[in-house]
Amino acid sequence: MNFWQRIFSSRPAKNELITLKENYARQQQLIANSQQHVSFLLERIKVLENVVINLKQTPSQPLANRPVKPTVLELQILELVKAKGEISSHDIFEAMKYKNRQTATQRACEMVKRGLLIRVGSGKLSRYILPEAV
């Protein structure tokens, strides 16, 4: 076999060229789709960066200094504390007619976290007082 016979025998058949062209076209489409996804993600990153910058620029108050608007149920609990001076979760359980004591305890803990009440003691001996009473 001479040189030219080896060259022509190693050339792909016509149907192989067609499949190579189809594969190339698919790859080009995938690249285009990937570029669209990347540009979309870059836009989203820019938006999020602007949000972060705005959050950093807005002054935030510490939790203790933020104004807290109590809910209607919390207002009722605060009225109960004002009337009695201090209350337990059992007092909240009875006054609010909750189905279990755990709900009353959870409500009191939420109010402590928000700065509406102060917890004195621990466990079943926990008592709750108003912050002004301290």
Residue extents of the structural domains in the chain? 3-57, 65-133
Judge whether 78 and 64 are in contact, CB under 8 Å.
Answer: no
- CATH 1.20.1560.10 for domain 65-133: no
For residue range 41-60, list pLDDT tens digits in order: 999 998 888 888 777 766 55
Provide mean pLDDT across the span 108-130: 89
Encoded amino acid at 29, one letter? Q
In what helix (H) or strand (E) does residue 128 lie, and over which residues does it extend?
A: strand 127-129
pTM recorded for the entire structure: 0.49
For residue range 56-98, list pLDDT tens digits in order: 766 555 555 556 688 888 999 999 999 999 999 999 999 888 8
Q: Determine the Cα–Cα distance for residues 74 and 85; give it in Å rounded to an integer.
A: 16
